[in-house]
A and B are shown apart, each in its own frame.
Chain A
Amino acid sequence: MTEFDPARDLAIERVIRAPRSAIWRAWTEPARMQKWWVPAPTIARVDRLEPRPGGAFVTSMSEDGRSFVPHTDSIFLFAEHESRLVFTNAVDSTWRPAAPAPVRMTAEITLAEHPEGTAYRALVRHGEPADRDRHEELGFFDGWGSVTGALAALVEGETS
């Protein structure tokens, strides 16, 4: 396993008061996943969710529920029932090498038994950002990605 690099990687760890099976289902059943994958009012559609090595993980999102734009296009590297799920966007669902904006990442989701429920960890390892100047509108945050580019230019003293 590769090292955790604090300059490029992030880890989120918490105890979730729910059984591992419930969290696993939320991660592996499209109807459940679309309930939490993107922030409301944006609507997520889980197009392909195949939690097995080489399986596709494809989601779209929509502001109005009618026109959908691509969101995630990645593959699973590893899946162990109710315990570990690893996927990356560095390779897309057709197994082509990809250069997603803003950054290539591998996410490792780990579920472990805990007296109060489940010890949940998301460990996200990043490559270098695809292009620091061109943040695409990801819709994660109401288009903050594109805002970030404009603001960065501003901070650097350029007129926008």
Chain B
Amino acid sequence: MANQSSVGDVFAALADPTRRAVIRQLGAGPASVGSLAEPFAITLPSFMKHVRVLESSGLIHTRKSGRVRTCTLDRDRLSLVDDWLAEQREVWEQRTDRLERFVTDPQHQEDR
């Protein structure tokens, strides 16, 4: 469910340059998967994986009509990224995750 995904999913979706380019493109208005895929030298199945990541993060919605799948940007969802506090929370959540992994990993906790 897109509306249950976290701000972390949004950041993860945006971590990829191809997906960022798609978001920028959709900023100009809805577009079909085919036209969005054109600038990229990747196969359509690979491109569809990016589309699915964007969709599950809630950043875009897609609608199929006949053989054409149209993508639309969710601007409210995208505005999460401009929320600096959410961004800082993400930084500290992930930092705490890494700290936790480090201190609970026996390999790193030898006494010298």
Are A and B subunits of one complex?
A: yes
Q: Which A residues are closer than 8 A to B by beta carbons?
A: 7-8, 10, 12, 14, 16-18, 22-23, 26-27, 32, 35-37, 39, 102-103, 105, 107, 120, 122, 124, 126, 129, 132, 140-142, 144-145, 147-148, 150-152, 154-155, 159-160
What's the Cα separation between A65 and B94 when bound, in Å? 22
12 residue pairs bridging A and B, Cβ less than 8 Å apart: A10-B88, A26-B103, A37-B95, A37-B98, A39-B98, A120-B100, A144-B87, A145-B87, A147-B14, A154-B27, A155-B79, A155-B82
A18 close to B104 (CB less than 8 A): yes
A140 close to B91 (CB less than 8 A): yes
**A102 partner residues in chain B, CB cutoff 8 A:** 84, 87-88
Q: Which of B23, B79, B85 contacts A8 (CB 8 A)?
A: B85
Chain A binding site: helix, strand, loop or mixed by DSSP?
mixed
> Which of chain B's residues 1-37 have a Cβ closer than 8 Å to chain A?
11, 14-15, 20, 23-24, 27-28
What's the Cα separation between A154 and B23 when bound, in Å? 9
Q: Which B residues are closer than 8 A to A by beta carbons?
A: 11, 14-15, 20, 23-24, 27-28, 75, 78-79, 81-82, 84-85, 87-96, 98-104, 108-109
List the B residue with the shortest CB-CB distance to A10: B89
What's the Cα separation between A37 and B91 when bound, in Å? 10
The residue among B81, B92, B99, B108 with the most chain A CB atoms within 10 A of its own CB is B99
Given A141-B15, A151-B78: A22 in contact with B85 (beta carbons within 8 A): no
What's the Cα separation between A16 and B98 when bound, in Å? 11
The residue among B78, B84, B93, B95 with the most chain A CB atoms within 10 A of its own CB is B84
A36 close to B92 (CB less than 8 A): no
**A22 partner residues in chain B, CB cutoff 8 A:** 103, 109
B24 close to A150 (CB less than 8 A): yes
Given A39-B94, A122-B96: A16 in contact with B103 (beta carbons within 8 A): yes
A36 close to B101 (CB less than 8 A): yes
Given A35-B108, A144-B11, A144-B87: A23 in contact with B78 (beta carbons within 8 A): no
**A16 partner residues in chain B, CB cutoff 8 A:** 99-100, 103-104
